[in-house]
Amino acid sequence: MAARENAISPATLKDLQNLVKAIATNSKIDESRDFAAAVQESMVAGVRAEHAVLDRGVHTAPFYVLIGASMPAVLAEIAFVSNPEDEKRLKTPEYRELLAESLLRGVKSYLEALNRTQTRQLTDASRRSTVTRGSGAR
């Protein structure tokens, strides 16, 4: 009887798989939004130190190149070759280096924030633990 009650139909299993997939996808969307914010903030701050730039903010959309990513992902739009000023800057190795360094700082910033969050979660979990620690004596 228990086997019959615990049995899952193929349709129910498919629904469950779709639910798990949707939860994972939404999790990556939230993580990607945080990642994008860290990259955007770093890019604007890094470039503004030497050039006048417009902060266009973070935008979300189902970008084709990011669909199916199993990890946080961002698409960084760093310049417009149709903009004469951007085109001029992009021709210089110094500007390209500035962009690369700013992008790297954004990635590092996101990773550091992620590590702090994970460390905090681990610390909080150990404080909530109900396992009694032995004195080591037997």
| pLDDT for the residue numbered 1 | 54
In a domain, 3, yes or no: no
In a domain, 80, yes or no: yes
In a domain, 18, yes or no: yes
Range of 78's domain?
11-123
Question: Tokens in use for 62?
Answer: 């189902």
In a domain, 40, yes or no: yes
Amino acid at 106: G
Under a CB-based contact definition with an 8 Å cutoff, are residues 95 and 89 in contact? yes
- Give the position of tokens 């760093």: 78
In a domain, 76, yes or no: yes
| pLDDT for the residue numbered 9 | 65
pTM of the model: 0.67
Under a CB-based contact definition with an 8 Å cutoff, are residues 70 and 49 in contact? no
Q: Domain tally for the chain? A: 1
In a domain, 128, yes or no: no
Start-end of H helices in 49-92? 84-90
Q: Which stretches does DSSP call E strand in 2-137?
A: none
Under a CB-based contact definition with an 8 Å cutoff, are residues 50 and 102 in contact? no
Summarize pLDDT for 44-94 with one digit per residue, the tens.
999 999 998 889 999 888 788 888 788 889 999 888 889 999 999 999 999
In a domain, 133, yes or no: no
In a domain, 60, yes or no: yes
